[in-house]
Amino acid sequence: MDNKIKTALTNSDKNNIWHPFTQMADWLNDDPCKPLIIDRAKGSYLYDVDGKKYLDGISSLWVTLLGHKNPRIDKAVKKQIDKVSHTTFLGLTHKPAIDLSEKLLKILPDNLKKIFYSDDGSTAVEIALKMAYQYWQFKNEKRSFFLSLKNAYHGDTIGAVAVGGTDLFHSRFRSLLFKSFFAMSPYCYRCVYRKKEIKFPVTAENFKDHNIQMHCRGQCIKEVESILVKNNKKIAAAVIEPINQAAAGMIIMPKGYLKEYANLCNQYGIPLICDEVATGFGRTGKMFAVEHENIKPDFICLSKGITGGYMPLAVTATTNEIYSAFLGKYEEFKTFFHGHSYTANPLACTAANAVIDTLNQNKILQKLQSKIKHLEKELTSLLEHYRVGNIRHCGVMAGIEIVEDKKTGKPYDSKLKTGAKICANLRKHGIIIRNLGNTLVLFLHLTMTNRETSKIISAIKIELDNL
Ligand SMILES: *Cc1c(COP(=O)(O)O)cnc(C)c1O
């Protein structure tokens, strides 16, 4: 692109736009990296306005599922545009949404029977929270607390923030929020309960150390139980990101934790909301993360990968038990008074139908298993690096925690912005990933090739050597 046009675009962006999760003072100063102006994309790659290509190692922030510009989704959406691009879902319905609900109910846990549409991850969670809250009113119980986990992330709207446990994002709003209980996050590498047990450095031999994991799990579950023992009658629902607290830096739960957590909710009669906004549609190696531990939650929230990254769409799936509590005469006003302008947008539903068809017909999940093994092999070798403190991964999601001192696990001072600097330098290798603090995050397309995965890991190694 002509430099003059590029400069004009950059200036216009800087003059007019406020970017999400961005310190705009840094953005204006081109720090840590120049605004990259994306022009087009294909497969695993994004191309900037100069035609330079970048390997997208984070699925454009966890949404593109089957690569960019997927021919099947492209075709389906184009066809739907020729029919109708939007119609309200209040008092009307349409085939793309009807087809999608059938397809979803076939692949979701079989206790889930109803699909409520909205348009992003935050709204999917808000809807589950509101449904649970209203449900207890029909049972003549006033329950206004929720159970969540420290380090949890469920979105940025206020209800989702109320069950968010990431102080950096959420503490500023605390006084505005409804009350939630936060149990310990099962973050084994830095679990406060097992400081003494921690084995540093964490190497390939002990990074999956069963005893450390089981000890962490036991302590964390005890805390959930003690909250439930004391407060179960106040709690409207428990909300959890199954298997992976992704936005906290890919905190993977110890094996069995989720099952125990779900069992406790069941024992105390607390509806369970599983937020699969990040983990859904194969990212963990199974269609949904709950399948790893055979959980049947009362709600599942879906978004991000659902349309393959084409269009905003979200789903809150729930049981007949919850749904039927809302049935009644019009004048009883049991109606769930909630909806968004773009609820069940037909283009978005069409994209989602194409995604599920592709997952099913192209055996994407079967093919994925060897790719996951390859990623695991690469990550295991990276763990030997003296700057890598811990690696956590599940399916095609991975967090690589960079430390100043591997022996003690001492983190880099956040002022140094080590994680962000590594990501900025990786752009020079033609690779786009993002950091969460000092954890480098990989969130791969299900269609990523082994060569592409290896390319990312090699470039990370080079940048770690340069630290
Ligand atoms: C991203 C995310 C959300 C929020 O989704 P938005 O579409 O950004 O509102 C909620 N929950 C989890 C687990 C997420 O990863």
pLDDT, tens digit, 9 for 90 and up, residues 319-341: 999 999 999 999 999 999 999 99
Domain boundary (310, 330, 361) is at: 361
167 and 114 fall within a common domain: yes
Q: Residue 197 and residue 31: Cα distance in Å, rounded?
A: 40
379 and 248 fall within a common domain: no
195 pLDDT more than 60: no
* Residue to substitute in 304, 306, 307 for testing ligand 1 pocket (most ligand atoms within 8 angstroms of CB): 304
38 and 117 fall within a common domain: no
Q: Is 275 in the pocket of ligand 1 (CB under 6 A)?
A: yes
Q: Is 154 in the pocket of ligand 1 (CB under 6 A)?
A: yes
Q: Is 276 in the pocket of ligand 1 (CB under 6 A)?
A: no
**How does the average pLDDT of the chain come out, rounded?**
94
The packing angle between helices 364-382 and 346-361, to 10°, is 80
Domain containing 312: what range? 74-361
Instruction: Tell me if 298 is assigned to some domain.
Output: yes
Q: Is 126 in the pocket of ligand 1 (CB under 6 A)?
A: no
Name the nearest CA neighbour of 113 among 361, 426, 411, 324. Answer: 324
Spacing, Cα 124 to ligand 1 middle (Å): 9
**Smallest CA separation from ligand 1 atom 15, residue:** 278
Q: Which residues pair with 54 in a beta bridge?
A: 46
The strand order across the sheet containing 114-118 reads 114-118, 314-318, 299-302, 272-275, 235-240, 145-149, 180-183
Q: What is the pLDDT of residues 66-97, one digit of tens each?
A: 999 999 999 999 999 999 999 999 999 999 99
**Smallest CA separation from ligand 1 atom 11, residue:** 154
Q: Residue 193 and residue 129: Cα distance in Å, rounded?
A: 30
456 pLDDT more than 50: yes
341 and 396 fall within a common domain: no
Q: Residue 191 and residue 199: Cα distance in Å, rounded?
A: 12
Structure tokens at 354: 């194409």
Q: What is the mean pLDDT of the segment spanning 300-329?
A: 98
335 and 236 fall within a common domain: yes
- Residue 175 belongs to domain with CATH number: 3.40.640.10
Q: Is 280 in the pocket of ligand 1 (CB under 6 A)?
A: no
Lowest model confidence (mean pLDDT) among 211-220, 283-292, 303-312, 440-449: 211-220
Q: Is 122 in the pocket of ligand 1 (CB under 6 A)?
A: yes
Confidence at residue 204, expressed as pLDDT on a 0 to 100 scale: 47
Q: 148 and 238 in contact (C-beta within 8 Å)?
A: yes
Find the angle CA(177)-CA(183)-CA(186) to the nearest 5 degrees. 130
Quickly list DSSP for 225-253.
HHHHHHHTTTEEEEEE-SSEE-TTT-EEP
Q: What is the mean pLDDT of the segment spanning 404-410?
A: 88
Domain boundary (341, 361, 381) is at: 361
Q: Residue 420 and residue 418: Cα distance in Å, rounded?
A: 6
194 pLDDT more than 80: no
Confidence at residue 31, expressed as pLDDT on a 0 to 100 scale: 53
Strands 272-275 and 388-394: unpaired
Spacing, Cα 164 to ligand 1 middle (Å): 11
105 pLDDT more than 90: yes
Confidence at residue 193, expressed as pLDDT on a 0 to 100 scale: 55
> pTM for the full model?
0.96
336 and 408 fall within a common domain: no
Q: What is the mean pLDDT of the segment spanning 416-428?
A: 95
Ligand 1 atom nearest to CA at 61: 1
Top pLDDT among 144 and 204 is at 144
Spacing, Cα 302 to ligand 1 middle (Å): 9
- Residue 55 belongs to domain with CATH number: 3.90.1150.10
Lowest model confidence (mean pLDDT) among 167-181, 262-276, 359-373, 401-415: 167-181
310 and 320 fall within a common domain: yes
170 pLDDT more than 50: yes
Share of the chain above pLDDT 70, in %: 96
The packing angle between helices 364-382 and 450-465, to 10°, is 20
106 and 206 fall within a common domain: yes
Share of the chain above pLDDT 90, in %: 87
Instruction: Tell me if 20 is assigned to some domain.
Output: no
Q: What is the pLDDT of residues 440-450, one digit of tens each?
A: 999 999 999 99
Q: What is the pLDDT of residues 201-245, one digit of tens each?
A: 555 445 556 777 888 899 999 999 999 999 999 999 999 999 999
Q: 169 and 152 in contact (C-beta within 8 Å)?
A: no
420 and 271 fall within a common domain: no
Q: Residue 389 and residue 410: Cα distance in Å, rounded?
A: 9
54 and 95 fall within a common domain: no
Q: What are the binding residues?
A: 121-122, 153, 275, 304, 339-341, 434
Q: Is 283 in the pocket of ligand 1 (CB under 6 A)?
A: no
Confidence at residue 190, expressed as pLDDT on a 0 to 100 scale: 83
Q: Residue 114 and residue 243: Cα distance in Å, rounded?
A: 24
357 and 386 fall within a common domain: no
The packing angle between helices 418-426 and 450-465, to 10°, is 130
Q: Is 397 in the pocket of ligand 1 (CB under 6 A)?
A: no
Q: What is the pLDDT of residues 9-57, one digit of tens each?
A: 999 999 999 999 998 998 998 754 578 999 999 999 999 999 999 999 9
Q: Residue 192 and residue 43: Cα distance in Å, rounded?
A: 42
- Domains contained in the chain, number: 2
- In this prediction, residue 290 has a pLDDT band, given cuts at 50, 70 and 90, of very high
Provide CB contacts within 8 A for 267, sequence distance 6+. 228
357 and 369 fall within a common domain: no
